[in-house]
Structure 1
Amino acid sequence: MKLSVIGCGYLGAVHAASMAELGHEVVGVDVDVDRVERLSRGEPPFYEPGFAELLRRGVDEGRLRFTTDMGDVAGARVHFVGVGTPQRESGYAADLSHLDAAMTSLLAVMADHPVPGALVVGKSTVPVGTAARLQEWCGSEGVAATVVWNPEFLREGFAVQDTLTPDRVVYGLPEDRAAGEAARDLLDEVYAGVLSHGMPRLVTNYQTAELVKVAANSFLATKISFINAIAELCEATGADVTRLAEALGHDERIGPKFLRAGVGFGGGCLPKDIRAFMARAGELGVDQALTFLREVDAINQRRRQHAVAMAERHFGGSVRDRRVAILGAAFKPDSDDLRDSPALYVATRLVGQGADVVVTDPIALPGLHARYPHIQTAPNARAACVDAELVMLLTEWTDFTGLEPDQLGSVVKERAIIDGRNALDPARWEAAGWSYRGMGRASTTW
C-alpha cells in the first residue's frame, strides 16, 4: 500500500521507517531540507536504538523515500500526520500551527488527486476536539477523506519496538458508522503485521482516542512526581525513599515502575503534554478536574532546583569557581534529546552561578555543543571528572551507573557525588571513600 507520513521528526521518521519495514511503499514529507536530505541518505538525524538499521533498509530497498514536496504524496491511500505540537510561547496550550499548515498543503494535494476511501490518520498529540475539526475541514475543502485518530505511545529509547510491537493500538473513528467501519478495515490492512502479534486493538470515538495519550502521560507524570514529593518528606525525616518505593511497588495496585525518585522528568512529551491538557480543560470549563497537574508540574520543576541547591550546600552556599562534573545531558538514557532536560537545567544553572562545569554524555554532546557552545564538555566520565570537587550523576546511562568508584576516585580532587537518579549503590561508593548524597535517601540504610 502507498502511504505518506507528514512530518518526519522523531515520531514521523520512526513511523515511516516502521511502515516500510511492514512492506508498504512510504513517502515521508518534511519542511526541513537538511533533515530530508539526511533521511534520504539513510542517515538518522537523531539517536534512537535500532532506528538507523530500519531506516537504511527501507531506503536501500526502495520502499522508503523522503521529500520536501507535498505533491509527492499524491495517490497515497493513507496519510499519517505526525507533525510537532509544541507548547505555545504565550501559555500552556498546544501550538497547532504546524498541524494546520501541514493539513492545508495536504488537502490541496488530495483535492487535486482524489483517492477513493483515503484516510488522514492523526498521530500527533493534540487537544481533544482536533480530529472533529479536521474532519469538518476536509468536507469544507471538498475532500472525501475520513479522519482517524491513532495516537502514538512511543518511549524514547524504545521507539522502534513500540511502533512494531506496541502494547495497544487505538483507532479514534468518526460518528458516521459506514465511514468509520471502512476506515477501521483499511487501518487493519496497514497494521496487519503489527496486529498479528496479538496486542489489543481498541476502537473508540475521536474524543477518547485524543485523550488517551495525554491521560497516559499525565498519569505517568503524576506517579513520578508522587515519589519525588515523598522524597522531599524522606529528606526531612531521615527515611529512605528507595526502600519506601520498593515496599510500595510490591502492592499490585501500585506496581514498581516509575517509582524511582530523582531530578524529575523532561523531554518533548510529558512536560508540554500535561500543560496542554490543563489548558484544554480550562477552555472546556472543567479546569478544576486537572488542577492537581499544576502541583505535579511544580514538584517536577522543584526537583531539578533541589539538585542545584544540593550542590550549593555541598560547597557551603556558593558554587563559584568550584569544579563540578556532570554525568549526563540528555533527558533520559538511550536518547540524544535535550528538550527540557533536568540534567541540562542543572548544568546551565551552575554555569550561571559561576561554577566550573564539565558535562559529558555518550550521545548528546553534538546537540549540546550546538545549543550551548559555552559549556565545557568531555568525551567520557573519566575525562569529565579530572580535578572535580563534586560529581553529579543526572542521566542514568549504563556508562555512568557501571563506573568503578575507586577508578573514578583516582582522578577527582574530592570524592563527592550527588546521585540525581538514585541509580548507584551508596554502600559501594561510601566504601570507596566517597561522600554520597542521593535524592531522598538516608545516609545509612538497612
Structure 2
Amino acid sequence: MKMSVIGCGYLGAVHAAAMAELGHEVVGVDVEQAKVDALSASRPPFYEPGFEELLGRAMELGRLSFSTDISAAAGSRVHFVCVGTPQRRGEYGADLQYVHSATEALLEVLNPGEVVVGKSTVPVGTAAELAEVVTGKVPGALLAWNPEFLREGFAVQDTLHPDRLVYGLPEGTGGEAACSVLDEVYARIVEAGTPKVVTDYATAEMVKVAANSFLATKISFINAMAELCEATGADVKQLADAIGHDDRIGRKFLNAGLGFGGGCLPKDIRAFMARAGELGADQALTFLREVDSINMRRRIRMVELAREVCDGSLMGKRITVLGAAFKPMSDDIRDSPALNVAAQLQLRGANVCVTDPAALDNCRRSWPQLDYAATPQEAADRADAVLLLTEWQEYQDLDPVEFGGVVRQRRVLDGRNALDRDKWEAAGWAYRALGRRAA
C-alpha cells in the first residue's frame, strides 16, 4: 500500500520506517528541511535503540522516502498524521495548531476514498471536528483515529509488535471501509493475533490519555508512599515489592524516585484536566492535580536531600549528576527531572557536572549553563556527592569500589532506587534514596 506520514518527529519517523518494514511504500513529510535531509541519509535525528537499523533497511529497499513538499503525499491511500501536540504556553491545554495545519495541508492532495488516520495524542472531540473538515472539503474521504502507545526506548518493538490496536471510526459504511483499510495496513500485526479494539472517535482519543493518566497515578502513588516512608522510617522499596506481589496491583511502575517527565505524561495529564474542565467534568479529574503535584515535589525533595548529604550547604560543592534524559534508552530531555534537579542545584551554588550516554548534545543546546562530561568517571572527578537521576544500565553496573577512587566524598543519592544498596555501602559509600532510611 502507498501511504504518507505527516510529521517525522519521534512518532512519525519510527512509524514511517516500521510501515516500510511491513512492506508498504511510504513517504514521510515534514516542514523541517534538516530533519528530512538527515532521515533521507539514514541518519536518525534522535536516539532510539533499533531505529537506525530499521531506517537504513527501509531506505536500502527503496520503500521509504522523505520530503518537505506535501505534494509528495499525493496518491497515497492512507495518510497518517503524526505531529506533536505540546502543552500551550502558560496553560494546561494541548496546542493543536500542528494537527490543524497538517490536516489543512493534506486537503490539497486528498482524494475521495483515501483515509486520513490521526495518531497524535489529542483532546477528546478533536477527531470529530477534523472529520467534518475532511469530509466537508473532500466528500468520500474518511478520517480514523489510531492512537499510538510507544514507549521511548522500545518504540520499534511497540510499533511492529504492539500489545493492542485501537481504531476510532465513523459510524456506518464509512467506518467499515476505514476499518478494512486499517486491517490491510496492519495485516501482519492483525494476523499475529494482536488484540484489536474497534470503537468511536471519542473512546479512541481517550484511550491514550486515560492510559497515561493511570500510569502517572501509579507512579505518583508510590512516590506519595515514599514521602510517608521518610516520615515513618519505613522502606519504600520493600513496600513496593510487597504490594507488587498482588496481581491486582503489579510491580511495574511502582519504582519510587524522582518521578516522571518527558514529552507525554506531564503534558497529557494536564491537557486531560483542561479538556475535562471545558466539558464541565473537571471534578472527575481533580485527583490528577495531586498526581502532578506529588511528581513535582520529588524534584524539590531530591535537591533538599542533596543539601542534607552535603553537610547542610550546596555552596561550592562539586555535584555529579548521572543521567540527563528523562528516562534511559532515550536522548529526550523534555521536562527531564534530572536536568531540573541539576539546574536547581546549580542555582543553590553547587558546581554541577552532568553526564549521559545519549543526551549530551541535546543538553548542551538547551542547558548551556551546566557543565558536561562524557563519562561517569570524568563527571565524578573530586565530587562531593554523586546523584543517580536517570537509571541507565551502565550506571547501575558501575563498580562502587573503583568509582570510589575518583570522588572526594563517597556519597551517593539514588534518585531512582536502582542501585544495589548493600554493594555500595560495603564499598564505603554513604547511600541515600527517596523513601528509604539513612544507614
The TM-score, its normalising length taken from structure 1, stands at 0.97
SS at match of 1:108: coil
Task: Give the C-alpha shift of residue 428 in structure 1.
Answer: 1.1
Deviations 1:349-392 (A, max 9, x none): 11122211110001111111111222111111111111000000
- Partner AA of 1:127 in structure 2: P
Q: Deviations over 1:205-257 (max 9, x none)?
A: 11100000000000000000000000000011110000000000011110110
Aligned pairs for 1:124-273 (under 5 A) are 124-175=120-171, 177-273=172-268
Name the counterpart of 1:310.
Answer: 305
| Correspondences of 1:299-338 after superposition (within 5 Å) | 299-338=294-333
Distance in 1 (CA, whole Å) between partners of 2:160 and 2:318 is 45
Secondary structure in structure 2 of the residue aligned to 1:109: coil
In 2, the alpha carbon distance for the partners of 1:269 and 1:406 equals 38
The reply on whether 1:409 has 2:371 as its aligned counterpart is no
Q: Report how far residue 327 of structure 1 moved.
A: 0.2
1:318 Cα deviation from its structure 2 partner:
2.4
Aligned partners of 2:310 and 2:384 also within 8 Å: no
Deviation for aligned residue 1:403: 0.5
Amino acid paired to 1:134: L
Alignment of 1:282-301 (within 5 A): 282-301=277-296
User: Partner of 2:143: helix, strand, or coil?
Assistant: strand
* 8 Å contact from structure 1 (residues 5, 82) kept in 2: yes
Residue aligning to 1:362? 357
Which residue of structure 2 aligns with residue 97 of structure 1? 97
Partner AA of 2:86 in structure 1: P
Report whether the alignment pairs 1:23 with 2:18: no
Residue type of the partner of 2:168?
Answer: G
Segments ≥4 residues shifted beyond 2 Å: 315-318
Superposed displacement of residue 315, structure 1: 2.3
TM-score scaled by structure 2? 0.99
User: What is the Cα deviation at residue 195 of structure 1?
Assistant: 1.4
Q: What's the secondary structure of 2:436's corresponding residue?
A: coil
Q: Kindly indicate whether residue 6 of structure 2 is the aligned counterpart of residue 2 of structure 1.
A: no
Counterpart of 1:120 in structure 2: which amino acid? V
How far apart are residue 442 of structure 1 and its match?
A: 2.2
Unaligned runs of 5+ in 1: none
Distance 1:440 1:372 in 2: 29
In the alignment, structure 2 segments of 5+ residues that lack a partner are none
| Letter aligned with residue 161 of structure 1 | Q
In the alignment, is the contact (CA less than 8 A) between 1:221 and 1:265 conserved in 2?
Answer: yes
Identical-residue share of aligned pairs (%): 64
Distance 1:20 1:264 in 2: 36
Q: What CA distance in whole angstroms lies between the structure 1 residues aligned with 2:339 and 2:40?
A: 31
Q: Spell out the pairing of 1:9-158 with structure 2 (5 A cutoff).
A: 9-110=9-110, 114=111, 116-158=112-154
Aligned residues: 439
Contact 1:123 1:151 in 2 (8 A): yes
Deviates more, 1:27-36 or 1:374-383: 374-383
Q: CA deviation at 1:198?
A: 1.0
- Indicate the RMSD between aligned Cα atoms, in angstroms: 0.9
- How many angstroms apart in 1 are the aligned matches of 2:9 and 2:429? 42
Equivalent residue in structure 1 for 2:343, among 348, 373, 377: 348
After superposing the two structures, state which structure 1 stretch, 394-403 or 188-197, moved more.
188-197
Output the amino acid matched with 2:174.
A
Measured in 2, the distance between the counterparts of 1:271 and 1:125 equals: 13
- Choose 317-326 or 135-144, whichever is displaced more: 135-144
Hey, what's the Cα distance between the residues in 2 that align with 1:392 and 1:90? 31
Q: C-alpha distance in 2, partners of 1:352/1:11?
A: 34
Describe the SS at the equivalent of 2:108. Answer: helix
Partners of 1:327 and 1:359 within 8 A in 2:
yes
On the 8 A contact 2:151/2:158 being kept in 1, the answer is yes
Q: Could you tell me whether the CA contact under 8 Å between 2:323 and 2:392 is conserved in 1?
A: yes
1:85-124 C-alpha deviation (Å, 9 max, x unpaired) = 00000300000001111111111221xxx2x421000000
> How far did 1:74 drift?
0.4
Matched, 1:435 2:430: yes
CA drift at 1:73: 0.4
Distance (whole Å) between structure 2 residues aligned to residue 371 and residue 259 of structure 1: 30
Letter of the structure 2 residue corresponding to residue 32 of structure 1: E
Q: How far 1:143 sits from its partner (Å)?
A: 4.1
In structure 2, C-alpha distance between the alignment counterparts of 1:94 and 1:197, rounded to whole Å? 35
User: What per-residue deviation string (whole Å, max 9, x for no partner) do you get for residues 64-89 of structure 1?
Assistant: 00000001100000000010000000
Q: Is this contact kept in 2: 1:138–1:144, CA < 8 A?
A: no
CA distance in 2, matches of 1:395, 1:196: 38
Contact 2:20 2:63 survives alignment (8 Å): yes
* Structure 1 residue matching 2:99: 3-state secondary structure: helix
